[in-house]
């Protein structure tokens, strides 16, 4: 009886500890969200979303070009990064033992943890030095960040598709490549989409590579080989402004919009790719 009571006490203590750890982990997350909401919401209105970025310290204006710039740069980066990432993930999962796959997997893991400023410098030396600061250079740098994330998550998702599903298609006389792009991909769809959204969320907030590639701007998009604005850069500039009462609320507003944008993309993508059968 006595032993039973001590066991129960130990159990209670361990359960409480895990809950405590969970609460501690959630505190910074929730406070970031609440803080951004409280400070960001008052800054946001129609003018804030649609108008051009004012010079620091000047009232009026908005962050329109930054929203536009982020959508364009992230959009192009996804157009480059998603197909390459998904295809290489499939190849790693379907042909896992080739020498190329082993090398690619290792390099992929290394580049997942590559500091983003390094990728920025890479994009800068490779493209910016030749063409000047440009949307293309920024999209290129972000695509490089995106590929390893998409590759890794696609590989894991495709590996989870049971062998029996593949065999069912192959036994029907369906060629291997067709089996992969139809039956296997449709079964792995959910995991792959999650990986893509994760990578979009990650690159949408990147600041360092953009500083070195698209530079930032106060004006609307004016061409793929021109500098452009982006939300992380706008947040960065507003928050280092000396005019705290005018520019700091803008930084909060832009932060909130960035969060809502990532959330919005994720909701829209999930809606259009939802499973027919759960």
Partner 1 sequence: MYKRETSLPTEAINILVSEQMSYKIEIEGLNAWFGNNHVLKDVNMKIKERAVTAIIGPSGCGKTTLIRCLNRMHELVAGARVSGKVLLDGENIYGNDIDPVTVRRRIGMVFQKPNPFPMMSIYDNVAAGLKLNGVNDKRRLDAAVEKSLRMAILWDEVKDDINKSGASLSGGQQQRLCIARALAVEPEVLLMDEPCSALDPAATTKIEGLIRTLSQDYTVVIVTHNMQQAARVSDFTAFLYLGELVEYGDTKSIFENPKNELTENYITGKFG
Q: With binding defined as CB under 8 A, does residue 162 bind partner 1? A: yes
DSSP H or E run through 26? helix 2-40
| Distance in Å, CB of 105 to partner 1, minimum | 17
Longest dimension (CA), the chain: 79
Q: In whole angstroms, what is the distance from residue 37 CA to residue 237 CA? A: 20
Return the number of the residue (164 or 245) whose C-beta is nearest partner 1: 164
Dihedrals φ, ψ of 57, to 5°? 85, -10
**Region from 106-114, 180-188, 210-218, 263-271 binding partner 1, contact rule CB under 8 A:** 180-188
The pair of three-digit structure tokens given for residue 168, joined into one six-digit string:
């069912």
Q: In whole angstroms, what is the distance from residue 260 CA to residue 26 CA? A: 19
Return the number of the residue (52 or 189) whose C-beta is nearest partner 1: 189
| Distance in Å, CB of 176 to partner 1, minimum | 8
Q: Which residues contact 43 (CB under 8 A, 6 or more apart)?
A: 249, 250, 252, 253, 256
Burial 143-159 (b: 16+ CB within 10 A, else e): bbbbbbbbbbbbbbbbe
Q: With binding defined as CB under 8 A, does residue 57 bind partner 1? A: no
| Distance in Å, CB of 269 to partner 1, minimum | 17
Q: With binding defined as CB under 8 A, does residue 172 bind partner 1? A: yes
| Distance in Å, CB of 149 to partner 1, minimum | 24
Q: With binding defined as CB under 8 A, does residue 159 bind partner 1? A: no
Binding-site member from 189, 198, 226, 236 for partner 1 (CB under 8 A): 189
Q: With binding defined as CB under 8 A, does residue 126 bind partner 1? A: no
**Region from 37-45, 184-192, 203-211, 212-220 binding partner 1, contact rule CB under 8 A:** 184-192
Q: With binding defined as CB under 8 A, does residue 50 bind partner 1? A: no
The pair of three-digit structure tokens given for residue 268, joined into one six-digit string:
């829209």
CA distance readout (Å), 21 to 13, 15, 17, 32, 104: 12, 10, 6, 18, 37
Q: With binding defined as CB under 8 A, does residue 202 bind partner 1? A: no
DSSP annotation string for 118-155: HHHHHHIIIIIHHH-S-HHHHHHHHHHHHHHHHHHHHH
| Distance in Å, CB of 155 to partner 1, minimum | 17
115 three-state secondary structure: coil
Q: With binding defined as CB under 8 A, does residue 271 bind partner 1? A: no
Return the number of the residue (180 or 213) whose C-beta is nearest partner 1: 180
Applying the rule CB under 8 A, the residues between 82 and 121 that interact with partner 1 are 97
Applying CB under 8 A, what is the total number of residues that bind partner 1? 23
**Region from 3-11, 132-140, 159-167, 233-241 binding partner 1, contact rule CB under 8 A:** 159-167
Return the number of the residue (115 or 162) whose C-beta is nearest partner 1: 162
DSSP H or E run through 87? helix 64-94
159: Cα within 13 Å, side-chain hemisphere: 13
Q: With binding defined as CB under 8 A, does residue 182 bind partner 1? A: yes
Q: Which residues pair with 215 in a beta bridge?
A: 228
Q: Which residues bind partner 1 (CB under 8 A)?
A: 97, 162, 164-165, 167-175, 178-179, 182-183, 186-187, 189, 275-277
């Amino acid at each position: 009886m006595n032993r039973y009571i001590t066991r129960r006490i130990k159990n209670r203590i361990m359960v409480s500890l895990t809950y405590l750890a969970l609460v501690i982990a959630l505190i910074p997350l929730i406070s970031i969200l609440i803080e951004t909401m409280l400070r960001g919401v008052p800054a946001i209105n129609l003018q804030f979303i649609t108008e051009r970025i004012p010079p620091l310290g000047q009232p009026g204006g908005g962050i329109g070009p930054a929203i536009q710039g982020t959508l364009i740069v992230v959009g192009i980066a996804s157009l480059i990064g998603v197909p390459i990432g998904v295809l290489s993930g499939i190849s790693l999962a379907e042909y896992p033992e080739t020498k190329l796959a082993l090398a690619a997997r290792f390099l992929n893991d290394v580049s997942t943890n590559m500091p983003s400023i390094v990728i920025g410098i890479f994009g800068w030396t490779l493209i910016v030095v030749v063409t000047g600061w440009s949307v293309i250079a920024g999209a290129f740098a972000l695509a490089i960040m995106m590929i390893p994330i998409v590759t890794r998550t696609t590989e894991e998702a495709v590996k989870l598709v049971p062998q029996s599903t593949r065999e069912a298609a192959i036994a029907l006389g369906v060629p291997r490549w067709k089996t992969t792009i139809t039956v296997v991909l449709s079964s792995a769809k959910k995991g792959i989409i999650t990986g893509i959204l994760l990578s979009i969320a990650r690159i949408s907030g990147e600041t360092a590579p953009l500083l070195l590639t698209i530079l930032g701007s106060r004006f609307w998009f004016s061409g793929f080989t021109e500098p452009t604005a982006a939300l992380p850069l706008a947040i960065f500039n507003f928050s280092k402004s000396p005019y705290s009462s005018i520019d700091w609320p803008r930084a909060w507003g832009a932060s909130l919009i960035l969060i809502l944008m990532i959330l919005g993309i994720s909701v829209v993508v999930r809606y259009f790719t939802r499973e027919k059968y759960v």
